[in-house]
Amino acid sequence: MTPDPLEQMIAAWAAFDDSLRMRNGFNEVIYDSLKQSLHACADAWAMLDAIPRVGANILVDIFAATEANADLYEGQLTDRVMEAAYELHDLVGECVALR
C-alpha cells in the first residue's frame, strides 16, 4: 500500500519545523523527506479543484515558519535555513499550481 502523500507531508513538516525550532541544526535527511513529500502532494493534487484543508494550512506556514526559524541560528546555518525557505516556497507553488 502506497503511503498517503498528505500524511507524509504532515509528518515531514512537523519533524523539520520541530528540529529547527528546538535548535537542533539543519537536518538534511529530514529536509529531503519534506521535499519528497511536497513533490508527492503536488503530483497527487495536480488534477484536484481543491486541496485538503490541513495541507493548505501547512503550505501557508512553510515559508514564514522556516524564515522565522533562521533567526535562531548564525552564519552559514542561517543562510542554509533561508535557502531552504525559498526552495520550499517554490515547492509550495508546485503543490497549488493550476494545470
Is residue 23 within 8 Å of 72, Cβ to Cβ? yes
DSSP codes of every residue in 39-79:
HHHHHHHTT-SS--HHHHHHHHHHHHHHHHHHTTS-HHHHH
pLDDT digits (tens, 9 = 90+) for 5-42: 999 999 999 999 999 999 999 999 999 999 999 999 99
Look at residues 86, 76, 91 and name the one whose alpha carbon lies nearest to residue 33.
91
SS3 25: coil
Mean pLDDT score across all residues of the chain: 96
pLDDT for res 31? 98
